[in-house]
Amino acid sequence: MNFLITGVAGFLGSALARRLVREGHQVRGLDDLSTGDPERVPPEVLFTRGDVNDRPKLWTLLQDVDCVYHLAARVSVPESVLYPREYNHVNVGGTVTLMEAIRDVGVRRVIFASSGAVYGHQDEQPLREDLLPNPGSPYAVSKLAAEHYVHTIGRQWGVETVALRIFNAYGPHQPLPPAYPPVIANFLYQAVRGGTLVVHGDGMQTRDFVYVDDVVQALVAAATAPGVAYETLNVGSGQATPIRALAQRIVELTGGRAQIIFNPRGSSGVAHMQADLTKARRLLRYEPQFTLEQGLRATLEHDPRLRAVASPAAASV
């Protein structure tokens, strides 16, 4: 098949590209490199630097494409609070521009990478797709709005669309920005250096951490699965992990040199996040292959930033 991946130089986009190339598909990629790294993109990918709001460029890239993976987005919740207009421009406006171009060219299927953040605070867990979304940040609002645009434009023009609500993805090579780094990448980075892991609140808030290979598994399945048009599906591990337990296990895995401190005044976000995978199992035959323990070990083993300085004691824990 011929694929286009927007956001191909990002964490998930590059992992997906590697998988598709390995399976023998033709892959084109688009990324503005505002946060992506071109070194992550496999050499077999026909890479174009550009903006997802550039419709003429999209027309060119979409020729003869069977399926589009739309992963290009701004992804920081705290940053979105400061810059909601930018998040609306990229995450919503860019999605609408892409769907217009897809409509014009006639692509068969679109897979949209949404987020578990759209659920916000809910009184029940695990989170099912039929729960009323309660987005608590401009980032979450932008993802929910983009979901509606993708499905609505898709229905109007006969484009099959699938939205995957991806929970807390992690794994090797995940970017570690100085501001608002993702929790597992940050904890591992601090722990292998014998630093400090800062847990906000009491650490009893839970998150659904899903290893990158499992996310890629769901993305690949969504491209060809029957009966998934206009569906919205959760992609996670199906497990809820308390942040304090995560921190403690990471300290143990990395040799026990790091310290955990609690910041009672820090914002811990929503109390609980756990994906219900019933629908993804039924429609995508999706089944996570990595436990959190296996995913953490794989990240330590395959991320050169961590492996180079990891404590020798970690291997025996």
H and E: helices and strands count for the chain: 12, 13
State the Cα–Cα distance between residues 239 and 236, nearest whole angstrom: 8
State the Cα–Cα distance between residues 248 and 8, nearest whole angstrom: 33
**276 neighbors 127 (Cβ within 8 angstroms):** yes
Task: Give Cα separations from 274 to 15, 190, 249, 299 (angstroms).
Answer: 23, 26, 19, 21
Longest distance between any two alpha carbons in the chain, whole Å: 58
Out of 69, 87, 119, 139, the active site residue is: 139
End-to-end alpha carbon distance in the chain: 43
β-bridge mates for residue 211, sequence order: 170
State the Cα–Cα distance between residues 64 and 255, nearest whole angstrom: 51
Count the helix, strand and coil residues of the chain and give each as a percent rounded to the nearest 5: 45, 20, 40
State the Cα–Cα distance between residues 101 and 98, nearest whole angstrom: 5
Decide if 83 is catalytic: no
Q: Starting at the edge strand that comes first in sequence, how are the strands of the sheet with 26-31 ordered?
A: 46-49, 26-31, 2-6, 67-70, 109-115, 160-166, 231-235
- The catalytic residues are 139
